[in-house]
Chain A
């Protein structure tokens, strides 16, 4: 089977999410990558070094600069004449583009796969991760989005794939990019690739308190910062901090939940973390049912003390 993987990037570097998709694709067959962007040669060079990749298709065109689905999907649909499966990360980029490709190919997409069970059989979460379905496709071609935390990352170095420049249909002329308002990361690791995450909930009271309590601990541990939906809805932090079924799915080595009760919605986004530490003053909070280490304490005292003693 020949697979085509969508490389997620910002025209300068490849996003880590791509590497997990390469691993999933390699379980199906030969792996080709697609870099669709503008002045994205550095991304193509990086993609060609990924271990196990056979070929990198590069479509360099201003129409693909911002990854607009209206422009990128027809490009991918065209390439599917020569590939059997298309895989994209289950990020907002992949989720935006892949179903559009699937409909163009008259294929029913398989979303957010957790494992490859056979040539056309996969597992995927349903009902906010409260159930895991095993599904088998009867379509000739496959269109799949991949949950990054469910697959190991392919080695970023070691490959030397051939790079092939390709053309595409270009601008569909129905949509345009206006602006982006991206979080200033600084040195802080991105949530989906952080080794340690410190996450805060509604108990943090307001944005200022969230910053005062959570940030110093995260700084000390070199951790990414996340939040529960309640904290995001209450406006303590921006929406891209949200961990949960409707936010980001994370699985770091260590997840520290502070003042988070542990709603099903939140657990769905972090329960695959290797070690979960919870600090909450309510000893009956559901978060303690999944935590490896729990501390029942007032977070306003305990967290600064922890930050100091670590």
Chain B
């Protein structure tokens, strides 16, 4: 079985985003960029399935600028076998990304497509579900545990009330949640080896996909700032304050 793992290059998890003064967006100049953490979990899960003998090949895919090659090299260093960059400097919305991934899936015929539940930049949480719809295949979103069972994949999902388990006929799409696994760090020898792995560069036009945006962002603003209140001396003072607020 082949697993496709789409990955996105985003602002690093530890960087606090700064909104540009003119309201045109978030300042990404000279900001550290990394692989979307949820996608990293997807890469790790795919590698674990391969290590367990459930998958033969892992293909990492990214839709983004030339620099997204770095993100793909990271996936290759972790253990993906080859990579495809669909290069574009445009901002590509989840719907167009899903259309590109569908075209790649038609060529590659994977058993699973595994990707993060959301990217930490636009927080859309859409691409996996949209890809599943376009491919007319089942989806296991917000995965906490993934298990291959013959022609099916059993996904335990993190839902608001707890956990839910669903059984999906493959090919299927799985989106990963935080607690699925802890991604490995790539070792130095693997980073060196990754440089020699195949990385194809394509464009959205190669897949016949129009990436024109459907949503226009007219403004990006700082969220309202909450003012710090006061500190109280001891529990008695806190109790008084709480009683004044009508709590208890």
Contact = CB atoms under 8 A, between A and B. Distances in A.
Contacts of A156: none
B236 interface: yes
A128 B235 contact: no
Contacts of B158: 92, 239-240
Pick the 9 closest A-B CB pairs, nearest first.
A292-B229, A108-B214, A99-B129, A103-B133, A103-B130, A99-B126, A175-B138, A178-B165, A310-B248
16 contacts: A92-B141, A92-B159, A96-B142, A99-B133, A103-B133, A108-B93, A108-B94, A111-B124, A126-B121, A126-B122, A175-B168, A178-B166, A233-B178, A240-B161, A310-B247, A310-B248
Interface residues of B, number: 76
Interface of A: 66, 68-70, 73, 91-93, 95-104, 106-112, 121, 125-139, 172-183, 192, 196, 220-221, 229, 232-233, 238-240, 245-246, 248, 254, 264, 271, 275-277, 279, 283, 288-297, 302, 305-306, 309-310
B196 interface: no
Given A108-B214, A306-B239, A309-B235, A133 B129 contact: no
Given A108-B95, A131-B26, A310-B242, A96 B168 contact: no
Contacts of A271: 226
A102 B218 contact: no
Interface stretch (B11-19, B43-51, B58-66, B73-81): B11-19
A103 B129 contact: yes
A178 B223 contact: no
A100 B132 contact: yes
Contacts, number: 248
A127 B94 contact: no
B162 A238 contact: yes
Contacts of B95: 102-103, 106-109
Interface in B121-167: 121-134, 137-139, 141-142, 144, 154, 157-167
Q: Which one of A131, A137, A177, A277 has the greatest number of beta carbons of chain B within 10 Å? A: A131
